[in-house]
Chain A
Amino acid sequence: MSDKLIDIRNYTSSPSAPLLTARGLCFDAGGQRLINKVDLNVAAGRCTVIMGANGSGKSLLLRLLHGLIRPEEGTINWEGQPLDRAGRQQQAMVFQRPVMLRRSVAANLRFALSVRGVRGEERRAREAETLALARLETLKDKPARVLSGGEQQRLAMARALICAPRLLFLDEPTASLDPASSLAIENLIQGARENGTTIVLVTHDAGQARRLGDDLVFLHAGRIAETGPIKRVLDAPRSEAAQAWLGGRLFVPEKTETDSIKNGV
């Protein structure tokens, strides 16, 4: 069986100019190529969902796109220019396991603002507004690390949103959350979208992908196996990897001479 990779070179999810562009991204670790020649355009104002099996490189790709780690090869451009500190400051990321500072809920939000130089009255106003948005007002003086998992993830979302990012990366933000907590997170994501924030969301939940996403990027073994409008890819996947994964089947492609990736599903 061979993985029929669909040509996604220069794929753009919408006619609007891409906010973020990745070209030929490669990343190696432990002698293995974990991300292999990924080309991707993230269009402004849209929600791009990244799906794929465990170990396919979704979280790694998110970190590369956000500039948290450097690729071995390839380029990442922000509005046509190489991604730098100024570009990263217009982005935010919510991790699968929220990292809570050892401070109160409100102090976690204040920290994000103080890093961006927001102080005084504006800081107080944005703090109050974001606490209300994430329904955390009653918890604002509680130590962040004693909150429940759902509350912590809401706080992580609030901390990301308080700086009004233009691009928000979400790495499985509802993994291991109950339905009510997941809904609260999805509402925050939907609200951010309505405010014009571009979203890149990693999820395993096809239902969530349909509810929130516009475009889908399906990763398999570090490569983009398929990409396109979300409904089309979920309803009629063209790549064997996506078909197998969405059908709940095991898919192990043949190794090619040029493919140094150790595949596993």
Chain B
Amino acid sequence: MDSFSGILVEAIGLILSWDPDVIEIIVLSLRVTLTAVAAACLIGLPLGAIVGAFQFPMRTGVIIAMNTLMGLPPVVVGLLVYLMLSASGPMGVLGLLYTPTAMIVAQTILVTPIVAALTRQVIEDLNSEYAEQFASLGVGPFDRVLALLWDARYSLLTVALAGFGRAVAEVGAVIIVGGNINHVTRVMTTTIALETSKGNLQLALALGLILLTIAVIVNGLLMAIRGTATRAAYV
């Protein structure tokens, strides 16, 4: 217990000292994750909205596929992206392996099905409420998707934050395609894994505390957004 207290004190000291290496790791983590979530939203929001708002052949199959992909094992995604980006892979010429871009690609693949599947559910529910009114107003397909996405904005922020939560805590895929290279691709989760195996528990715990803090902030934001939206009857 004493040793745990000691490690905890040292970890907190490390955070408060604003160690440049730690800051660099946090900044890279947030950069990779936020970019991946933004890319996943760009793909997943319209995709989920289209599947949620329209009937088409094989729709059920698409929904099953989207829901299944939500549980994609990160290491499998990491392996697939590695095979694509490795020197002998089809996209090897791009030279992206062991770069933050490769990590963004892997995280985007992981988060997009989450965003798309959750968006589909949100939009489907809203569309069932709006369908007759939209038909009466003569709303076209493009306007319908835009209107549904806008009116579901608060629920979709929650979806995006759920994607962020998944991405920021992810380790399996980014360690395979990023390689955990110091000052290049080292992010919080991969550093925790590495430093724990090396016995450098202070740094690992410091980063773990920061990850937890980010999770608390994200949840706080979620609550605040939902509170605002509920007061305006926007959810």
Question: Known interface pairs A68-B136, A115-B138. Does A99 touch B234 (Cβ–Cβ under 8 Å)?
Answer: no
Q: Does B1 contact A (CB under 8 A)?
A: no
Instruction: Check A88–B133 contact: CB distance below 8 A.
Output: no
Residues from chain A with Cβ under 8 Å of B211 in the complex: none
Chain A interface bracket (under 10, 10 to 19, 20 to 34, 35 or more): 20 to 34
Instruction: Identify which of B132, B140, B151, B152 contacts A95 (C-beta below 8 A).
Output: B132
Interface string of B130-145 (1 = CB under 8 A from A): 1011011111100100
Chain B residues 140 to 168 lying within 8 A of chain A, measured CB to CB, are: 140, 143, 147, 150-152
Instruction: Check A143–B132 contact: CB distance below 8 A.
Output: no
Chain B residue total in the interface (Cβ 8 A):
19
Most chain B CB within 10 A, of A63, A85, A102, A145, is at A102
Chain B residues 104 to 146 lying within 8 A of chain A, measured CB to CB, are: 129-130, 132-133, 135-140, 143
How far does the alpha carbon of A112 sit from the alpha carbon of B138 in the complex, in Å?
Answer: 9
Instruction: Check B138–A68 contact: CB distance below 8 A.
Output: no
Residues from chain A with Cβ under 8 Å of B132 in the complex: 63, 68, 95, 99
How far does the alpha carbon of A102 sit from the alpha carbon of B228 in the complex, in Å?
Answer: 13
Interface string of B220-235 (1 = CB under 8 A from A): 0000000000001111
Question: Known interface pairs A101-B151, A143-B232, A145-B233. Does A68 touch B130 (Cβ–Cβ under 8 Å)?
Answer: no
Closest A residue, CB atoms, query B151: A102
Instruction: Check A111–B129 contact: CB distance below 8 A.
Output: no
How far does the alpha carbon of A145 sit from the alpha carbon of B130 in the complex, in Å?
Answer: 13
Interface string of A83-106 (1 = CB under 8 A from B): 001001101110100010111000
Closest A residue, CB atoms, query B235: A102
Instruction: Check B136–A66 contact: CB distance below 8 A.
Output: yes
